[in-house]
Each structure stands twice: as C-alpha cells, then as structure tokens.
Amino acid sequence: MDFMSTSNSSFSAQRLALGIVHQNASNTQLAVLSASLSAIAFLLYHFREWVFPSRLVDKHGYSIPPGPIGLPILGSFPFLTHYPELTLDYWAKKFGPLYSFWLGNQLFVIISDPQIVKDLIVTNGAIFSSRKNMFIKSQTIFEGRGITDTPYNECWRKHRRIASAFLVQRAVDGYNHTLDFEATELLKELYRHGQAGAAPINPQPHAGRCSLNNMMSIVYGDRTDSINHPLVAHALKLSREFMNCTGPVSNLVDFIPLLQKLPNRMTSRGKKLHRALVETYGGMALEFEERMKSGERVPECFAKAILEAREEEKLDHKDISILCSAFMVGGVETTGSIIQWFSALIPTYPEIQAKAHEELDRVVGRDRLPTLEDEKNLPYIHAIIKEIERVHNPFWLGAPHFSMQDFTYRGQFIPKDSVVIINSYTMHHDPSRHTDHHIFNPERYIKDSTLSSESANLANPYERDHWMFGAGRRICPGMWVAEREIFLCISRILWAFRMHEIPGEPIDLKEYDGLSGRSPVPFRIRMVPRDDRVKDVLGL
Ligand code: HEM
C-alpha cells in the first residue's frame, strides 16, 4: 500500500503541517514517522490533560478568572516560596478581586473581596466547603482523618460534630475557670522568669505553654506544671513542624503527582510527623484509656468522651489520635502566635500601652486582675486585640477551600476541583476599609464591640472585623475558646507589666517563622511589673 495515496487525512495533514514530506521515503520510514507523530500527539494530549485537568471555559464560553502566566509544569510556584501573602496581594492589585493561577496541575482561585467571600464561601457553601486531598497534609500527615483537612464528606461531618460539642459557646463556658487559671499562671511565670523586670525574657515559650495547657485541659483533663516539663518543648516542636510542613502553596510535591512516587524530604518529614502525632497524642489517649480501665476516677474531657463513644462512632486509634491532634496542634500555635505577636508589637508602642493602662486602671483598678466580664467595659483592650489580629493574622492563606462543582460567578468560571483561597492579607490591608492600613492603630476598632465569633455572622461582609478565623461551613470551630483565652492573657499582661524593648535588640516585626502559621522570630523584651500590687494580686 502506498502511504502517499492513503486517505488518512490526519496523517497527511501532520506531514504537510510539519513540512517533512519526502517523495522517496520508504514505507518503513513513513510507518516509523507515522507512529512517532501519533505518539507525540498522544503525549501532548495527555500532557495537556495532566497540566490542565480542569476545563478552562464553561458551556457559555466564560473563562477562568485572569491571572499570572506561570512557568511550564511549575506554574506560579517559584513566585510563592517566600512571603506568599505579599505575592497574592500584588496579584490582587494587578488582576482584581477574583483571579487564578496554576501550581503544577492544580488551579487556584484567589478571593480578595469580602462580598465575593460571602457569595462563594458562605452563600454557596454547599459547593465551596471541601478541602483538597493534599498529598503532604491530608494524605501523609493526617492519613485522611480528622477535621481540618478532610474533604466535605461523612468523615468530616462526624469528626466536626464530635469536636464541636467541646468547642461551642456553652461548652466553652465550662472552661472559663481553666482559661482564667492558666492566664494567671502565665503572668506568674513571666514575673518569675523575667525576675520582676530585672532580666530580659523571651515570652514565646511561655505563651505556647499557656495555650498548650488550655488544650490539654480540654482534651485530657491535664496540664504541664512548668516550662521545663518535657511535653512543652516536644508539643511546641510538633506544632511548629506541622506549620512548616503544610503551607497551602509551599509543597511542590502536592501539585506534581510524579514527585509523590519518588523519595523526597517533604514526604519523609510528613510521615515522621504523622508517627509523632499518633505516638504523642494517640499515646496520651491510650494512657487515659488505661486509667479508665483500671477503674480510676478520670476527669471529664474530650478524650474520655471519644473513648466512650468509639464503638458507636466507629472510631479507630488513628481517628482518636488525629482528632486529639486537631486540638493540640490547631489550638496551640494559633492562640500562642497572637500572644507572641502582641508581646513583640506592644513594647514598640509606649503610647498605646499607656492608654491601655489608663483604661485598665479606671475600669478594673489595681486590686484584682481583669476578668471575662470586664471585656465589654474595656473597648480599648478589645480594639488592641482586633488590631493585632488584623495586622498579624497567623494564617494569611487560611486553610484553603476546594470546589465540588463547576460554578460561574460574575462571568468568571470556577471549575470543579479548584483550590479557593480567602486572601485575608489583601482584605486586612484594604485602604478603602482601613485608612493608613500599614499603621498599627487600635482606634480603628474602638467602636466595634463585637466578638470576632459574632462579627463573622454580620449580614454586611464589609463590616466584619477581620478574616482570621476563615468563613462559611469550615470556619474555625475553636474561635470561642481562642477569643476568651486571648482576651484573658492580653488584658492581664497589660494590667501587670510595662513592656520594654531592650536597647540594641530591635524586634523584627517583618520576618516570621513558619510557612503555614506565622509566629515572630525569637526576641527578648523586659517585662517590668507596673507596681507592688502585681506581686500581691498574683499571690507571689
Ligand atoms: C487565634 C487562634 C486561631 C486561629 C487564627 C484559627 C484559624 C483557623 C482558620 C483560618 C481555619 C480555617 C477556616 C476556613 O476553612 O475558612 C481554622 C479551622 C479550624 N480550627 Fe482554628 N484557629 C484558631 C484557634 C483554634 C483553636 C483554639 C482550635 C481548637 C480548639 C481550632 C481548631 C480548628 C479546627 C478543628 C479547624 C478545622 C475546621 C474544619 O475544617 O471544619 N482553632 N482555624
């Protein structure tokens, strides 16, 4: 058969298009050529399918949101490895409040406007409330369990229901005593370790231990008795490692499936962290179970409740370990981080400290510590906390959502299986909402008496205080406990101490530690008791 006279039009077209027709080519050469071209066409087709697994245009011809053109295979990855929030902010200014980019084969859609967050994440929560099954975070570290990174499915519903029972407002009322006690213990530790103002102190591990003790009480009915307890350093290291392994845009292995098959450092770290979480927090649950079995009277706590319900709820040991980890990781580095940013910021603003002291002395006096009941009468302290959360959100990229259906919004197509990020950095720095947005100024919140957990439900999304706790059906369930803990710690530290920078040791407020959660890099300050009453009130 003469290939030149074949009616195979695509083959002829390929040859003509490539300009490689050779009148004297043998049949064998042509057959080889034909096979090669078909193989290239096949690879190109599947390469495209692999690179762009989502459709880019909907049935009406609306395209995906605009965005930066990335590099082949890597997409926009190289532009997001350091301070990704600044790149997202830059692109928001360039491409608008809804834009997109690729990382490997994954489409990301970035929302930088409160109304769009509400329209998509809240109003269309049935579509935008899943999580991508990330290779490192969901598959390797959590092995598909827990709450934070489980797709929107029955497993997530069950785990969130079980955990929420311990985090709703009514349950949190039952922890007020613990939160109160641990905030006072924190002051005592800062007083002792700072030698009543005589010695410089790094408040970070103390803030971390306070948050750790609060979560330990809720989960295991237990606490550490000192900063030197071996669990303190270990638990804080686990939280930090979690934050450093799970940045939503920082692991290329999450987006290039081929890398997942090859040995690599991130996968090894993820596996090691999984083992450590199961050994540590699953191990503490096992010890608790032993005590229950031995007939010991154990405290009412989360571990007890889930161990008792394990048959009925069909929870295996890994479920229990990862459920406990959601509190021990999600509830420690987060609140700890806000207290750390507060301690780093406030020494550099003596006039703000003075105003806070004046309010505390006027409302609370010098004979007792501030309590939760005082919060409504302390608008300036309340405003300081909101402003810290605005400028130092520990998670600028939050925990990304994942879309479960194609959706077209204002003429822009968001295909099913898009990762959707609430760009809180841009919203927290929007000059039309926050005048002089780069300046730390608590006054901007002075008239906002809402708790953040209340503010999240406001009908007008432009009036919401900030986006630190996320939005919609996956909003942080720990926000009630977090807010009370933060208020007690910050109001009491301000009540007790005058915080000073140390000459020659400027505090770096730009650099931070962590890829997913942010904490300040280590620093030291001087915490000087405001008067002799502090020692008496703390009972030292
Ligand atoms: C300052 C403190 C905290 C911050 C900034 C914070 C922030 C967040 C954010 C941004 C999300 C994702 C929300 C979304 O998907 O839109 C989240 C989810 C979550 N947080 Fe928090 N959080 C804090 C404290 C806590 C505490 C104290 C706990 C536990 C007691 C906790 C447990 C969780 C859990 C389990 C989820 C997953 C919810 C889900 O996917 O359904 N968080 N948090």
The DSSP annotation for 122-166 comes to IITTTTS-B----IIIIIIISTT-SSTT--SSHHHHHHHHHHHTT
Three-state DSSP at 460 gives: coil
Across the strands, what pairs with 103? 75, 106
The CA 540 to ligand 1 mean position distance, Å, reads 35
Quote the CA–CA distance of 452 and 480 in Å, as a whole number.
Answer: 9
Three-state DSSP at 519 gives: strand
Q: Which residue has the least CA distance to atom 43 on ligand 1?
A: 476
Is ipTM beyond 0.90?
yes
**Whether the Cβ atoms of residue 486 and residue 336 lie closer than 8 Å to each other:** no
The CA 39 to ligand 1 mean position distance, Å, reads 48
Element of type H or E holding 30: helix 27-51
The CA 145 to ligand 1 mean position distance, Å, reads 16
> Is the C-beta atom of 332 inside 6 A of ligand 1?
no
Q: Which residue has the least CA distance to atom 3 on ligand 1?
A: 334
The CA 469 to ligand 1 mean position distance, Å, reads 6
What is the 3-class SS of 214-225, one letter each residue? HHHHHHHCCCCC
- The owner of tokens 């349950």 is 171
> Is the C-beta atom of 471 inside 6 A of ligand 1?
yes
Secondary-structure breakdown of the chain: helix, strand, coil percentages, each rounded to the nearest 5:
55, 10, 40
Q: Which residue has the least CA distance to atom 37 on ligand 1?
A: 148
Three-state DSSP at 520 gives: strand
Q: Which residue has the least CA distance to atom 18 on ligand 1?
A: 476
The CA 464 to ligand 1 mean position distance, Å, reads 17
513: tokens are: 């530690």
The CA 215 to ligand 1 mean position distance, Å, reads 13
37: tokens are: 């071209």
Residue among 469, 473, 474, 481 to mutate when testing ligand 1 (max atoms within 8 A of CB): 469
Measured in whole angstroms, the distance separating CA 214 from the mean position of its chain's CA atoms is 19
Q: How high is the pLDDT of residue 55?
A: 73
- Full pLDDT tens readout for the chain, 540 residues: 322 333 333 323 332 232 223 334 455 565 555 555 555 544 544 454 555 556 789 999 999 999 999 998 899 999 998 899 999 999 999 999 999 999 998 999 999 999 999 999 999 999 999 999 999 999 999 999 889 999 999 999 999 999 999 999 999 999 999 999 999 999 999 999 999 999 999 999 999 999 999 999 999 999 999 999 999 999 999 999 999 999 899 899 998 889 999 999 999 999 999 999 999 999 999 999 999 999 999 999 999 999 999 999 999 999 999 999 999 999 998 999 999 999 999 999 999 999 999 999 999 999 999 999 999 999 999 999 999 999 999 999 999 999 999 999 999 999 999 999 999 999 999 999 999 999 999 999 999 999 999 999 999 999 999 999 999 999 999 999 999 999 999 999 999 999 999 999 999 998 888 777 889 999 999 999 999 999 999 999
Q: What are phi and psi of 221, to 5 degrees?
A: 65, 35
> Is the C-beta atom of 415 inside 6 A of ligand 1?
no
**Whether the Cβ atoms of residue 210 and residue 183 lie closer than 8 Å to each other:** yes
Annotated ligand binding at 489? The verdict is no
CB-CB neighbours of 231 under 10 Å: 17
Quote the CA–CA distance of 339 and 519 in Å, as a whole number.
Answer: 10
Q: How high is the pLDDT of residue 73?
A: 87
> Which atom number of ligand 1 is nearest to the Cα of residue 156?
41
Q: How high is the pLDDT of residue 4?
A: 30
> Is the C-beta atom of 464 inside 6 A of ligand 1?
no
Nearest residue to 305 (alpha-carbon basis) of 431, 193, 219, 200? 219
> Is the C-beta atom of 152 inside 6 A of ligand 1?
no
State the burial class of residue 61 (Cβ atoms within 10 Å of its Cβ: 0-12, 13-18, 19+): exposed
Calculate the CA dihedral of residues 80, 82, 85, 91 and round it to 10 degrees. -40
The CA 476 to ligand 1 mean position distance, Å, reads 3
The CA 248 to ligand 1 mean position distance, Å, reads 15
**Whether the Cβ atoms of residue 419 and residue 402 lie closer than 8 Å to each other:** yes
> Is the C-beta atom of 352 inside 6 A of ligand 1?
no
Q: How high is the pLDDT of residue 1?
A: 30
**Whether the Cβ atoms of residue 444 and residue 435 lie closer than 8 Å to each other:** yes
> Is the C-beta atom of 487 inside 6 A of ligand 1?
no
Residue among 334, 337, 490 to mutate when testing ligand 1 (max atoms within 8 A of CB): 334
Q: Which residue has the least CA distance to atom 40 on ligand 1?
A: 148
> Is the C-beta atom of 136 inside 6 A of ligand 1?
no
CB-CB neighbours of 4 under 10 Å: 12
Helix pair 333-345, 379-391: axis angle to 10 deg: 110
Q: How high is the pLDDT of residue 52?
A: 57
Quote the CA–CA distance of 363 and 355 in Å, as a whole number.
Answer: 12
> 272 Cβ partners below 8 Å, 6+ apart?
none
> Is the C-beta atom of 334 inside 6 A of ligand 1?
yes
Q: Which residue intervals of 370-522 are DSSP H helices?
A: 379-391, 424-428, 452-455, 479-496
Question: Whole-model pTM?
Answer: 0.90
